[in-house]
Amino acid sequence: MDKYRLKFNDEFNKYIQLYAHIKSLIDKNQIEDGEKLPSIRELADFLKLNKVTIINAYKKLQAEGYANQKIGSGTYAKRRDSIRGFKKSYSITFKRLSSGRLSDVIDFTGETTSADFFPVADLKAVLNDVLDRDGAEALIYQDVLGYEKLRERINEKFWDNKLDFDDILIVSGAQQGIDIVSKALINVNDNIIVEKPTYSGALSVFKSRKANIFEVPIEKDGVDLEALKKILKKNKIKCFYFMSYFQNPSTVSYSNYKKEELLKLAEEHDFYIIEDDYLSELIYDESTKYSSMKSYDKNDRVIYIKSFSKIFLPGIRIGYLVCPRIFKDSVQNSKVNTDISTSSLMQRALEMYMEREYWIEHIKLLNVKYKERYDFMKTEIQNKLNESVEFNPPGGGLHFYLKLSDRIQINSIELFYKLREKGVLITPGVMFYKHSNEGERYFKIGFSQTDCDKIRKGIDIISSVLSEEAKVYGVPNN
């Protein structure tokens, strides 16, 4: 009974405060789904309240979907929305929003660069020149590894020709890269480790392989090494998946120290590292210096995956991976079994785009434009949400990861629904955890699809909703 103890605030109705307290206990699993709540008389005596107050609190719990009453038996707790049910609702939201209607909402969920910055003129010129140069040859299937000149160009531009270009495999984006590697490496009941939280697309792939997934909390400079070591001591691990820069969703970037320590652990415990190099081009803080874990990899332990879709043209779906030579044949076979070849025309266009240095100018433009949005959104959060959320500015990337403060009683799923009604879309943190009862205090907001005017309006709406929730649930605003 002690968990039901509550210090009431005389400014607010007691039944509302009791409702909010019990709802919070259910959300946090301190009252389990299906657990019987105290009888009306029992709780009234314990809290020294009249029975009408308890009855009204229970009625509100039932009305909000947090409790069921069974005649002759009592009232039972109910988790209002399972993660599976929410994910379905989340997906339906975007299916119903055609591209035309998306312009009517403030979309803080976007993870690709805005169409406003697409290098359409340069790409059009490159495509015409490729077709003039190569004719029908540009449209036929390529070598399974990908267009040879593109692999040479990637080796030249990003690796200073330190790789063998035959070790580079062209894929249709990072998601396909993760899928191909998983099919090549991971079997049923293999043990893999992911960050906590982590990219939902990777979680889905690993679950589809029926792997045993271990989660390790992420700290300000990378994964918790001590927690990782405990898992390694007790389990034979096949691989560890992580994002080296501006991790999705936590926004954390790895320190060089943790990169080096992870490589030592990989060698010591004989596991491989899947490095998803996510948005490392978009660095706004000069104190953040880029160096991939693959560049530290002396023992061929890192499988490196990079997508051009996030920061170039999402529609072209091109990326690449570099894997240890021991897996080269199996990864190539996995690619063939997934699809025969990535678009030949787009591979040739991307190679020419890089060769003409258009790529460098485009990245410079994106860094200028997105730093403006990043700085603006950071200031808006600090000025308008400072009492309602906690966060660490990432210094790059395309989003912020916010934690609801204790004064806010609703979770991020409820916040999603309330904001959706007002034309604002966010991504609740539950999307990024293995277990459904985690991540409910977190949500992600991105600025890739929103200009400063929409950012201002969206943050104002979030601020208004969170302020109202704080008032309703018995926590006065300061």
pLDDT tens figures, 219-251: 999 999 999 999 999 999 999 999 999 999 999
If you average pLDDT over every residue of the chain, what do you get?
89
**CA-CA distance, 154 to 404, in Å (whole number)?**
42
- Residue 262 included in any domain: yes
State the average pLDDT over residues 458-474: 85
Determine the pLDDT at residue 30. 87
Per-residue pLDDT band for 99 (boundaries 50, 70, 90) equals low
Determine the pLDDT at residue 341. 67
State the average pLDDT over residues 417-442: 88
> Which range marks the domain in which residue 281 is found?
136-356
Instruction: Say whether both 236 and 374 belong to one domain.
Output: no
Q: Which residues contact residue 289 at a Cβ distance below 8 angstroms, ignoring those fewer than 6 apart?
A: none
CATH of the domain at 23: 1.10.10.10
Determine the pLDDT at residue 307. 92
Q: What percent of the chain has pLDDT over 90?
A: 64
Q: What value does the CA radius of gyration of the chain take, rounded to a whole number of Å?
A: 25
Question: Counting beta carbons within 10 angstroms of the beta carbon of residue 72, is it exposed (0 to 12), middle (13 to 18) or buried (19 or more)?
Answer: exposed
Q: What is the pTM of this model?
A: 0.82
Task: Return the structure tokens found at 98.
Answer: 């055609």
Cβ count within 10 A of residue 114: 17
Instruction: Say whether both 231 and 333 belong to one domain.
Output: yes
pLDDT at 296 > cutoff 90:
yes
Q: Which residue has the higher pLDDT, 111 or 21?
A: 21
**CA-CA distance, 86 to 413, in Å (whole number)?**
8
Note the pLDDT tens digit of each residue in 68-81. Answer: 888 888 999 987 65
- Residue 166 included in any domain: yes
CATH of the domain at 242: 3.40.640.10
Determine the pLDDT at residue 101. 64
What backbone phi and psi angles, to 5 degrees, belong to 115?
-60, -20
Cβ count within 10 A of residue 115: 12
Instruction: Say whether both 204 and 236 belong to one domain.
Output: yes
pLDDT at 370 > cutoff 60:
yes
Instruction: Say whether both 99 and 157 belong to one domain.
Output: no
Per-residue pLDDT band for 477 (boundaries 50, 70, 90) equals very low
Kindly provide the b/e burial profile for residues 167-192, where b requires at least 16 CB atoms within 10 angstroms of the residue's own CB: bbbbbbbbbbbbbbbbbbbbeeebbb
CATH of the domain at 101: 3.90.1150.10
Determine the pLDDT at residue 472. 59
**CA-CA distance, 374 to 394, in Å (whole number)?**
10
Instruction: Say whether both 242 and 295 belong to one domain.
Output: yes
- Residue 124 included in any domain: no
Determine the pLDDT at residue 460. 98
Q: Which residue has the higher pLDDT, 360 or 63?
A: 360
Per-residue pLDDT band for 151 (boundaries 50, 70, 90) equals very high
